Amino acid sequence: MYQVVKKLKLLKKKLKVLKSHYSHDIVREAEEDRKLLKQSQLKLQRDPSNKEVQQAEFLGYQKFKMSAYLAKMYLQQRSKSTWIKLGDDNIQYFYSIIKHRKLKQATMQLKDDTCTWQTDPGTIANLFVDYYSELLGRKSTSRVQDFTSILKNGPTLSTAQHVELLMPVVDKEVKEAVLHIDSTKSPGPYDFGSGFYKVAWPIVGQEITEAVIEFFHNGKFLKQLKSTIIALIPVIV
């Protein structure tokens, strides 16, 4: 598993160089291809029987189709990556908003069973606890047995299904799980999205599979692989 992380870090450096050479102007290239395609289509309208113009329009369309797709994917990943890296820039502001909302939603007084208004925070908390304890019931030692009997009345797994769930994870299952992930999912801290693993599976698949199966064997996972970033996205209400 350590080897996978190490190789991903080395690959990231190479991809940055590749990106600077080929994809830094992909959006502008798509816009230029769109303009050229529009010019070809105008020429085709004026001379629809011209074979050369037809061919030029067809090639222009194919080129624009590819560059537009690449630009779209680039902007999608860039926008998500930007949120991952910059999503907490205004964290102090968001915390102040949350604090303000909590104050607005706080219970300042509550009427008890004797219709007396209570304002002490501790008393109010106890009133809530007593109310829901009475509503939901007290702790019971027989509840587990009752719950088990309820489960038996519904559909349950058979012994064969239990055994199947305990079977070791195989390479095919890992591959199918990866291929079923949406290619536009947000990238992780290493900036490798699921689309990368799907496209490069013939190259990286074996090592990724071994790393996943290793986790199921020893239950350990590197922090670099399981780390994530939570970004607060502002919503104007």
* pLDDT per position as a tens digit, 20-47: 666 557 878 888 999 999 999 999 898 8
* Burial of 28: CB neighbours in 10 Å, binned 0-12, 13-18, 19+: exposed
Q: Which percentage of the chain shows pLDDT scores above 90?
A: 10
Task: Return the domain boundaries, the chain.
Answer: 21-80+88-105, 111-154, 168-228
CA-CA distance, 46 to 41, in Å (whole number)? 9
Asked whether the whole model's pTM tops 0.75, one would answer no
Question: Predicted confidence band at 96 (pLDDT cuts at 50, 70, 90)?
Answer: low
Greater pLDDT, 33 or 105: 33
Per-residue pLDDT at 100? 64
Dump pLDDT digits (tens) for 158-167.
889 889 888 8
**Count of alpha carbons within 13 angstroms of residue 68, beta-carbon side:** 13
> Average pLDDT of the chain?
76
CA-CA distance, 223 to 214, in Å (whole number)? 15
CA-CA distance, 178 to 198, in Å (whole number)? 7
Dump pLDDT digits (tens) for 155-210.
788 889 889 888 888 999 999 998 888 877 766 655 677 788 888 888 888 888 88
